[in-house]
Structure 1
Amino acid sequence: MSHLLHCQKLELDHARALHASFYNDPIWLAHEQQQVFARSWQLVAHTGDLAAAGDHVATDVAGKPVLIVRQADNSLKAFYNVCRHRAGPIATCNGRGAKALHCAYHGWTYTLAGQLRSAPEMQGACDFDVTQIQLPEIAVREWQGLVFVALAADAPAFDEMFAGIVERIKPIDISALRFHSRVHYDIDCNWKVYIDNFLEGYHLPHVHPGLSKVLDYRSYDTELHRWYSLQHSPIRNNDGIYGDGNAWYYFVYPNIMLNIVPGRMQTNRILPLGYNRCRIEFDYYYSDDPAVHARIQNEQSFSDEIQQEDIDICLAVQRGLQSGSYEAGRLCPKRESGVWHFQNLLRDAYRQAIPVQQ
């Protein structure tokens, strides 16, 4: 496997895509959970899920159970959702207004801050002191109404991850948008296939005829930053779908997408369900502008159409990657710089998993 990583990063005008093995060999998903997902900031909730003290969200990050809890002082804390007794779940679902956290297995009770408060029938345990037992904390941050956690201490600095996004999209204020709805799709392809597809407009004229009429392909461009890329296009001929302005398609490494148009943001989380299967979660956020709300039905129908087109092509690409006939094709320097950027970040992570023999 290490020979696949032996090649150094190529400049964009010489770049090739990842080898098919990274999409087909189950061993890479284990490396990705440890080196990619656990060592990055992961989107886990929106602030509406955690509006008041005791509100909590139970989720998985990099295959690990995680619990996020709103504190009485309005701060957030995140923990592994694992009781310190015998690893039972402290919460089995999201909840509102809890006064304490109760393990569902044996009833051990923790404060909202993760300090053990009581442990039933443990009086006979020698040297057992509830004050010495605390849930290990995980880093958690709020940004523009979204909540993120990072499992590893060496995850990139949060502020660096999102630097410049708010300023770039002005006058749009995504913090003022309100959660509307969620849909998800489970797709039989590797999670990276879906992201590769998102990261380039090269396929727009061929896969998305409707979207190509709305976006100006000649002006469509891609900007690369340290931890994210931006695809941008003016909006045109949209027949009341998006409104006037610009479309901003942000990808934040390794699996977060922020699709922003005037009055609306759509967040996507790309979650591996296996080495050849993934889940795409779409959360829709809208402004309070009545004109925007009048477009919601048309906009979501249009989004569903685009999504089905993406699903169909991603399934076909996965079959191609599994055919045994494909290795690593050349990238288009003009249109696939976002793919090159993402795959180079992955190459760095893979080298951490399996050091290359020099």
Structure 2
Amino acid sequence: MGYIHHQALMLQCGSMNTRPSPLPHKAMTELLSPDTLAPQQLDYALTLPARFYTDARMPALDGSAILARSWQLVCHLSQLTGVGDHVVTEIAGLPLLIVRSDASSIRAFHNVCRHRAGPIASCDGQGAKHLRCRYHGWTYGLDGVLRGAPEMGRTPDFNPADIRLPEVRVHLWQGLVFVAIGEAPPFDEFVAGIDARLGLHRALHDYQFHHRASYDVACNWKVYVDNYLEGYHVPQIHPGLNSLLDYRSYITQTAQWYSFQFSPLESADDLYGSGEALYYFLYPNTMLNILPGRLQTNRVLPMGVDRCRVEFDFYYTPADNPEAQARRTKDIAFSDEVQDEDVTICEDVQRGLASGSYEAGRLNPLRENAVHHFHEMVRRAYRDSLI
């Protein structure tokens, strides 16, 4: 993910998806039968039914019931170091612009001009002095207030100071920037206990952004999340990763809004060395993969009922010596190998779910407790959407 230097945001780098509309209540009740939404005990739990991964109505429901009601990771503070630095993203179809508005503030605005809904920015950038819609040139300050509108000076009762970009909540944690576009749990509850588990020696805010790798995967976003949430498949799907981890000591634990997997890690000094592999899942679609000297964040972005995009952002502790650069190169290659293996199995699973052969399967209580935890949160979100 490269930065583009502009004094104003007049960027042209592609289009964004249409925001999914909430399903009519009748359609939702047809899709979500009471038996599939009832809470399940782990020892007897079944997976979510296949239609939750394949029905064309699911993207709209997931957008309104889950993504729009959650905290979403958007970037790392190291990407917003200077005033005017900004990133663009989208949550549940809503385009967003996150910008450092002054030395002490980061704000998140709807990336939709108040004039005719044009895009203000389409790419990340640095050092913007103001925010200019590339459709008609309406220009906003970094505080989101309209500063200029070409040829609108004689328009009756038109006061630019009364017009501002809608703003959403921002929370900074461990150097990571999260936003919420709607109802979301209190952030302290969302990450409760993680700081203590990480400890001072692995404070994530000390890491620096390195690069982004994006994968388009032909599966529903929940298939990818399910796959992430268990180490049950590691011996079968990831022989290279399995050689570094101690599967017998691989443990998965759950909290209110997240789960985490951890295992002793042994690798050569030119990769990670020895220590601990720690994998956090923050509901509903954020992952933090923490290995010695490296943080990797994943965002799983729905792109349709049977498509998702997974954005991998790599962060490393500050070091530019040849040894550190060599370790990074090896880490990136190893990450690509593991991801290619995950993409293949997730796409295979999506085909199985769509085949008509499968409805739901029994979960392994020992190895798939985090999958059950995620499915219970999804069921709860769907139940709440019917109220």
TM range (shorter): over 0.9
Whether contact under 8 Å (1:214, 1:238) holds in the other structure is no
Counterpart residue type for residue 251 of structure 2: D
Residue 149 of structure 2 corresponds to 119
| 1:71 and 2:101 correspond | yes
| 1:252 and 2:256 correspond | no
Shift of 1:16: 0.6
Residue 167 of structure 1 corresponds to 196
CA shift digits 1:144-187 (9 cap, x unpaired)? 222111100x2111222122222202222221111112111111
Counterpart residue type for residue 120 of structure 1: P
Residue 330 of structure 1 corresponds to 362
Residue 218 of structure 2 corresponds to 188
2:144 & 2:218 partners in 1: Cα distance? 38
Q: In terms of mean alpha carbon deviation, does 117-126 or 179-188 score higher?
A: 117-126
SS at match of 1:9: coil
Q: In terms of mean alpha carbon deviation, does 135-144 or 268-277 score higher?
A: 135-144
CA shift digits 1:207-264 (9 cap, x unpaired)? 1122111111111011101110000100125564221110000000011000001111
Shift of 1:61: 1.4
Residue 348 of structure 2 corresponds to 316
Q: Which runs of 5+ in 1 are unaligned?
A: none
Whether contact under 8 Å (1:92, 1:104) holds in the other structure is no
Counterpart residue type for residue 79 of structure 1: F
| 1:203 and 2:233 correspond | yes
Shift of 1:95: 2.1
| 1:222 and 2:222 correspond | no
Residue 136 of structure 1 corresponds to 166
Residue 45 of structure 1 corresponds to 75
Residue 3 of structure 2 corresponds to none
1:169 & 1:196 partners in 2: Cα distance? 24
1:123 & 1:71 partners in 2: Cα distance? 26
User: Which residue among 330, 349, 367 is the counterpart of 1:298?
Assistant: 330
Structure 1 vs Structure 2 CA RMSD: 1.6
Q: 1:239 to 1:210 in 2, by over 3 A?
A: farther
Q: In terms of mean alpha carbon deviation, does 48-57 or 293-302 score higher?
A: 293-302
Residue 273 of structure 2 corresponds to 243
Residue 386 of structure 2 corresponds to 354
Shift of 1:64: 0.8
- Which runs of 4 or more aligned residues in structure 1 lie more than 3 Å from their structure 2 counterparts after TM superposition? 4-7, 237-240, 289-294
1:326 & 1:297 partners in 2: Cα distance? 41
User: Which residue among 104, 107, 111 is the counterpart of 2:137?
Assistant: 107
Counterpart residue type for residue 181 of structure 1: H
Shift of 1:69: 1.4
Whether contact under 8 Å (1:286, 1:292) holds in the other structure is no
Q: Which runs of 5+ in 2 are unaligned?
A: 1-30
Whether contact under 8 Å (2:137, 2:150) holds in the other structure is yes
Residue 377 of structure 2 corresponds to 345
SS at match of 2:156: coil
Residue 316 of structure 2 corresponds to 286
Counterpart residue type for residue 227 of structure 1: W
1:238 & 1:213 partners in 2: Cα distance? 11
Whether contact under 8 Å (1:67, 1:91) holds in the other structure is yes
Identity of aligned residues (%): 55
